[in-house]
Amino acid sequence: MQPIVDDTTGEGVELTQLAKKCAGWVLPLGRAGLFIDYPTTSGVVTKAALEEQGIRPTITGHAPWNIINWRTRKRGAKSVLSLVVLEEEYTVSDDGFEIKLDKQWRVLRNDGDIYTAEIWRKTAGLNFQRVLGPLTPLNAAGVPFPDIPFCFIGSENNDSEVDAPPLFDLADINVAHYRNSADYEEACFLVGQPTPVLIGLTEVWADKYFKEGVGIGSRAAIPLPVGADAKLLQATENTMPKEGMDHKERQMVALGAKLVEQKEVQRTATEATQEEAAESSVLATVANNISMAFVWALGWTAEFLGVPEAGIKFELNTDFDTTGMNSADRAELIKEWQAEAITWEEMRAGLRRSGIATEDDKAAADAIAAEAEANAAKNAALGLNPDGSVVKPDANFGA
């Protein structure tokens, strides 16, 4: 399966690169899709044929706007896809200088527990014509597939329902921030430049001395009649749009942090076993959904190649280090524990979030106690205090 990892799409896109592309769809839009395609074969395909002819499955990512139609049906207690329609582009003509593209639709069906594929294109008017299929892809043993090899990836889960885009709120505030910015820039353009104001001029004086306009600056003198005055009119800073921008920037920072923060609350000892499953951020949920979808897709490719599915793993990183503590923060945390303001578990939880503490609390406490006991015994053997300091003589010794 290594060639699938190195060239997942058949166009040079590697497995991790495709996962990043899917994340780029799920975060702003709420969903994406993975489609496993197979070359047309007849009968059983040997391993030698697979290697010599380059016959292998490919995994293609699909943006949500290209997944234009889908249906599901029940198979016992399980809900399976019965129809998926994917919008694609194909090359109409290529003269070496210009490529002309048009749309086509890949129709994936599963009407009777056998997966078939068709390709349709638009003809004159609003008519459509099937140009390929129905084809029935076969696995390495020459057996048809019972399911459509397509998987949804969502921001909440991987079912066929459309999930909310995680970045929608952030984008909404970003648009409002742009409006404030546009108002602020327009105000700066209209009234930001100093405007000369001449007070006490007569029409005769203006016609005589200012026919060519009013020159300003150190190289231009402004002749004024007796009692007249000249000033520069400059608008004061309009802080309302700027304050609106600053406020929205703080909101966007908070929303961005909310995407990666852990949904963590204090738990009892009984609930501690559920801690790992209960703690998840929005971004971690998206990463886990993508990982599960790729494990599923790699399982399909393994079935086509006739290799075992067991042992297939694909995991995106979910350790987003946004709450790391510096040395001063750690010292303050330990100081609060020593002052009995927080418990040992709370102190360890803070160190664990920052990546300092890695062991279980009980195991860490036992190890620390055992180490302290060993050091005390060693110091006693050397004639030292338990903390390793030199034993001071008694002040009354020899009196």
CA quadruple 167, 170, 173, 178: dihedral sign:
negative
Query: Are 109 and 202 contained in the same domain?
Result: no
What pLDDT was estimated at residue 265?
45
* Same domain, residue pair 136 and 230: no
* Domain boundary residue, one of 204, 234, 264: 234
Phi, psi of 365 (to 5 degrees): -65, -40
Q: Give the pLDDT score at 25.
A: 94
Mean pLDDT of 274-286: 64
10 plus 138 within the same structural domain:
yes
| Total residue length of the chain | 399
Identify the residue with better confidence: 66 or 184.
66
Q: What residues make up the domain containing 214?
A: 193-234
* Domain contains 106: yes
Q: Is 258 a residue whose pLDDT tops 90? A: no
What is the arithmetic mean of pLDDT over 317-345? 79
Q: Quick one: 15 and 65 in the same domain?
A: yes
Is residue 33 located within the same domain as residue 160? yes
Residue for token pair 């106690």: 369
Residue 363 pLDDT level (bands cut at 50, 70, 90): confident
The pLDDT value given to residue 359: 83
Task: Select from 373, 290, 231, 259 the least CA-distant residue to 25.
Answer: 290
Instruction: Compute the mean pLDDT over every residue in the chain, rounded to the nearest whole number.
Output: 81
Which residues lie closer than 8 Å to 394 by C-beta, 6 or more apart?
none
Work out how many domains the chain is built from and give that number.
2
Angle between helices 344-353 and 327-338 (to 10 degrees): 170
Phi, psi of 382 (to 5 degrees): -90, 0
Residue 228 lies in a domain: yes
Averaged pLDDT for residues 379-385: 73
Q: Does 54 score more than 70 pLDDT? A: no
Q: Are residues 32 and 132 in the same domain?
A: yes
Three-state secondary structure call for residue 163: coil
Q: Report the percentage of the chain scoring pLDDT > 70.
A: 83
The pLDDT of residue 41: 59
Q: Are residues 53 and 156 in the same domain?
A: yes
- The more confident residue out of 45 and 296 is 296
Using CA atoms, how far apart are residues 274 and 269, in angstroms rounded to an integer? 10
- Whether the CB-CB separation of 81 and 70 falls below 8 Å is answered with yes
Give SS3 for 99: strand
pLDDT at 399: 46
**What's the rounded mean pLDDT across residues 256-273?**
52
- Residue 284, CA atoms < 13 Å, CB-side half-sphere: 17
Confidence (pTM): 0.65
Domain boundary (165, 184, 214) is at 165
Q: What share of the chain is helix, strand, coil (3-state, %, to 5)?
A: 40, 20, 40
Q: Say whether both 209 and 71 belong to one domain.
A: no
Check whether residue 90 and residue 161 sit in a common domain: yes
